[in-house]
Structure 1
Amino acid sequence: MAREAAYVATDHIDESEHADPYLRPAFTLRNRLMRVLWGVVWLLLYRPSPRPMHGWRAMLLRLFGATMGPNCHFYPKSKIWAPWNLFCADQVTAADGVEIYNPAPMHFGSHAIVSQDAFLCGATHDYNSAAFPLIAYEMRFGAYSWVCARASVGPGVNVGEGAVLGMSAVATRSLQPWTVYTGNPAKAVKERVNTMERSA
């Protein structure tokens, strides 16, 4: 079953912007201005902040529309493309070097972890269209899921509750709950103990 895009650039950008579709912007002027402003705030206030100041960085993300539950730990070298499309429950962690490219909403459940240098890619292009429009997908990372260091998650891929994507693995399809995946493309290698059932 084909994934349904949450955002298609051609639905939002008028053809009059440029005759060549490859030269048209993928986002509205307001979106671009907001990202410029966020980039300045990230560079001057977010990135230089001391590592323990998680509350400060969460506050900055909230100021730009992010939903941040209690005790989220977003480290200073983490990059969030659009804070207004970031939805976090409690205890969500994004380590240094994490890049969250979220032109459409990304949701993180309680205690979800994204480790160093992981890349979460929320968009691609429709290469079968002459306009080559950007298309973005809403994505979900379940409670207690873990995207390990240098792993990548592709557009429209959902990570189930408690799922683990191993180091440098590449997820091109959604991951089942409480399952460990490795490789490129990522394949299930074993089950993970469901700690939620143990604590019940």
Structure 2
Amino acid sequence: MARQIDYKSTLTVAADGHEDPYLRPSFSLGNRLLRLVWNITWLLLYRTSPRPFHAWRSMLLRLFGAKVGPNCHFYPGSKVWAPWNFVCGEQCTLGDGSEVYNPSVITFAEHVIVSQQGYICGATHDYDDRHFPLLSYRMHFGAYSWICARANVSPGVNVGEGAVLGLASTATRDLEAWGVYAGSPAVKVKDRRNFLHEVK
């Protein structure tokens, strides 16, 4: 299924007299100011908080518009680029050094894990357009999916329920539910036991 562009900067932000398209901002002034306030908050209150203070960090994300379920574990070295575009079910985890770059809405179902230094990339640029506009995509991570340490998820890639992206791998295409993927670009190497839908 083709990826659907959710946001294109040249359709939203005026050129403001910039002759060089590479100097043109990708986001509105209001967006940039809100991110400045969030970055200061992250630096002073989120990043410096003690490791066990998961509820505190969840509260800070909610103050900036994130929809966060109960019992989430966001470690102090994790970062969400735009909390107002973050929707997260219960018992999700962002490990230290992990980052969610989300100019468009990124949704985690329950029990999603992004391990240390995992990177979720929600945007890219149209390199065939001389204006080099930013393009961002909505993305969804199914319940019980796991992005292992130092793994990367490319813009517009959706991760199925229970899927695993292995250590330092890069997902460039959607990951099927309950599949285990490895490599760069990641390929399916095996199936994961579907413990949610087993007949008891």
TM-score by length of 1: 0.98
Hey, what does 1:117 align to over in structure 2? 117
Return the offset for 1:13.
0.8
Hey, what does 1:63 align to over in structure 2? 63
Return the offset for 1:17.
4.3
Counterpart CA distance in 1 for 2:61 and 2:68 is: 8
Q: Which amino acid aligns with 2:169?
A: A
Q: Which amino acid aligns with 1:84?
A: W
Counterpart CA distance in 1 for 2:7 and 2:139 is: 12
Counterpart CA distance in 2 for 1:59 and 1:194 is: 33
SS at match of 1:129: coil
SS at match of 1:187: strand
Q: Which amino acid aligns with 2:128?
A: N
Counterpart CA distance in 2 for 1:169 and 1:121 is: 13
Hey, what does 1:22 align to over in structure 2? 22
Hey, what does 1:159 align to over in structure 2? 159
SS at match of 2:196: helix
Q: Gaps spanning 5+ residues in structure 1: where?
A: none
Hey, what does 1:79 align to over in structure 2? 79
The answer to whether 1:195 aligns with 2:185 is no
Counterpart CA distance in 2 for 1:53 and 1:15 is: 43
Return the offset for 1:199.
7.1
Hey, what does 1:131 align to over in structure 2? 131
Counterpart CA distance in 2 for 1:6 and 1:125 is: 13
Give me the identity figure in percent: 60
Return the offset for 1:16.
2.9
Q: Which amino acid aligns with 1:78?
A: S
Return the offset for 1:111.
0.3
> Of Structure 1 and Structure 2, which has the larger fraction of its residues in helix?
1
Q: Deviations over 1:114-155 (max 9, x none)?
A: 000001100000011111000000000100000000000000
Return the offset for 1:18.
1.3
Return the offset for 1:190.
0.3
Q: Identify which range, 12-21 or 26-35, moves more after superposition.
A: 12-21
Hey, what does 1:174 align to over in structure 2? 174
Q: Which amino acid aligns with 2:185?
A: P
Counterpart CA distance in 2 for 1:8 and 1:83 is: 20
RMSD: 1.0
Hey, what does 1:54 align to over in structure 2? 54
SS at match of 1:195: coil
Q: Gaps spanning 5+ residues in structure 2: where?
A: none
Q: Deviations over 1:15-46 (max 9, x none)?
A: 23412111000000000000000010001000
The answer to whether 1:33 aligns with 2:33 is yes
Counterpart CA distance in 1 for 2:18 and 2:43 is: 31
Counterpart CA distance in 1 for 2:95 and 2:13 is: 34
